Amino acid sequence: MHDLYERIVAAGRSGIYESNYLKANAPDGSGAFWLKHNVLVPAFGADFPAVAEFWAVLWRADGSPRVWKRSVDLGAVTLSSDRVEIVSESVRLDPDRAQGSLGDGEGEISWHLAMRHELPPLRHFDADWMYEAGFPRKKLVTGSPRTLFDGYFVVDGERISVDAWVGHRNHNWGTEHAHRYAYGGCNLWEDGSDLTVEGFTVQVRLAGPVRSPWLTMVNGLERGARYGAGSVAASLRSLGEVSWPEWKASVPCPDGRRARLRMRLDPARAAGLRYLHPDGTVSYCYNVKDADTRLVLGTVSYRSRAGELEFLFPDPVPGIPLHGESSVDQLRDNLVYGA
């Protein structure tokens, strides 16, 4: 796989988006965070500059999430050519640390976090060609499927300690976001199991108005060993149901078991984000970090209230506030240079 820097150089006519994000939950359920470090390079003919988009989303035990965003001209950002490293004046990410600060008219947030990685990377597709070819248009690798975070946030002057919060470091990229999807993951279970799960049910654009059937994959690590199957053949024997605010999936595992996953979110806890595509169109993302989650592997059942569940749709869900630019014109108006 090419790295981020090389993909941007090679983006050419199709453009590219890329996301390196961190998420974690407090083990006692008192909060969760989501830090996104995005790159957006326009497709040929799309009239907007290449940008880095920095997001911070913070959940407390009660109430709605708080969301901050800054869009920065990509020329003011340093990208490493040989590892995950994104550096601007206000935000920095490398493989083991994250720090930054964002502010708007409604408040400020800053963070200083160290990461401890407990599991090897998880490749969701088990064939190299799926990462190298034009299809699927969206690729993903979980660089650190179980990460412990230590450090702190400061929100409007209040310090929030982060002590062994459980999460992961995730990486996805492509020439466009999918048409619709549900994505879910969890690595913090009520019984303390050494288990992770991630998966999705997705519908992609094929040509013009034609859309694909729904495709489903679920993967994870069970005591450090992979149990899912990330192949096209396996996806044809998988079932997925996207029914807001719930997602269900059932997939075959190579060892003969079946993995069954059900996740449901509370819309009042959802962070609503607008996602710009490389061609300038907009999709609508809704994410929580406290989804009710049940995973059944064979005959063994696992439960959690710390699931990450995300939906993406071409039209907004009524009643949920949205954050981020709603158009290319607004992106230009909000763009920060040299910060």
- What does the pLDDT look like over 133-165, one tens digit per residue? 777 778 889 999 999 999 999 999 999 999 999
Q: Which of 164, 116, 172 is nearest to 144 (CA)?
A: 116
Closest by Cα among 298, 290, 253 to 268: 290
Report residue 273 as tokens.
Answer: 């984000």
**What pLDDT sits at residue 134?**
72
Provide the 8-state DSSP code for 7.
H
Alpha-carbon gap, residue 125 to 159, rounded angstroms? 40
- What does DSSP assign to residue 335? -
The pLDDT value given to residue 337: 77
Is it the case that residue 55 has pLDDT exceeding 60? yes
Whether the CB-CB separation of 194 and 224 falls below 8 Å is answered with: yes
**pLDDT over 50 (residue 2):** no
pLDDT tens, position by position, 260-293: 999 999 999 999 999 999 999 999 999 999 999 9
Mean pLDDT lowest among 52-61, 80-89, 321-330: 80-89
233 phi, psi to nearest 5 deg: -60, -45
Structural tokens at position 159: 């310090």
Q: Which two tokens stand for residue 255?
A: 């060892």
Structure tokens at 319: 């009643």
Q: Which residues contact 218 (CB under 8 A, 6 or more apart)?
A: 197, 198, 199, 228, 238, 249, 251, 259, 261
23 or 207: which leads in pLDDT: 23
Give the number of other CB atoms < 10 A from CB of residue 105: 4
Residue 187 has pLDDT above 70, yes or no: yes
Q: In the structure, what pLDDT confidence band is assigned to residue 220 with cuts at 50, 70 and 90?
A: very high
Q: Which two tokens stand for residue 58?
A: 């913070």
Place 66 in a pLDDT band, splitting at 50, 70 and 90. very high
Residue 167 or residue 140, greater confidence: 167
The answer on pLDDT for 319 being more than 80 is yes
**Which range, 5-14, 78-87, 102-111, 292-301, is most confident?**
292-301
Give the mean model confidence (pLDDT) for residues 114-136: 86
Query: Rounded distance, CA 265 to CA 224, Å?
Result: 28
pLDDT the model gives residue 10: 62
- When pLDDT is cut at 50, 70 and 90, the band that residue 125 belongs to is confident
* Residues 46/57, Cβ–Cβ less than 8 Å: no
CA–CA dist 102, 90 (Å, integer):
7
Cβ within 8 Å of residue 45, ≥6 positions away = none
Task: Please give the pLDDT value at position 83.
Answer: 82
| Mean pLDDT, rounded, for 91-100 | 96
User: Is residue 175 over pLDDT 60?
Assistant: yes
Average pLDDT over residues 323-331: 92
Least confident interval from 52-61, 102-111, 160-169, 203-212: 203-212
- Residue 221 C-beta-side C-alpha neighbours within 13 Å: 19
Check whether 67 has a pLDDT greater than 90: yes
- Specify the pLDDT at position 1: 34
DSSP-assigned beta bridge partners for residue 282: 276
Distance between CA atoms of residues 219 and 199, nearest Å:
6
Q: Which CATH architecture has domain 4-334?
A: Beta Barrel (2.40)
Q: Is 135 helix (H, G, I), strand (E, B) or coil?
A: coil
Residues 6+ apart with CB under 8 A from 304: 186, 188, 189, 190, 292, 293, 295
Whether the upstream peptide bond of residue 245 has omega within 30° of 0, thus cis, is yes
Task: Specify the residue for token string 């009042």.
Answer: 268
317 token code pair: 């869900």
- Residue spans of alpha helices (H) in the chain: 4-9, 129-132, 232-236, 328-334
Please state, rounded to an integer, the average pLDDT across all residues of the chain.
91
The pairing of strands 271-276 and 322-323 is parallel
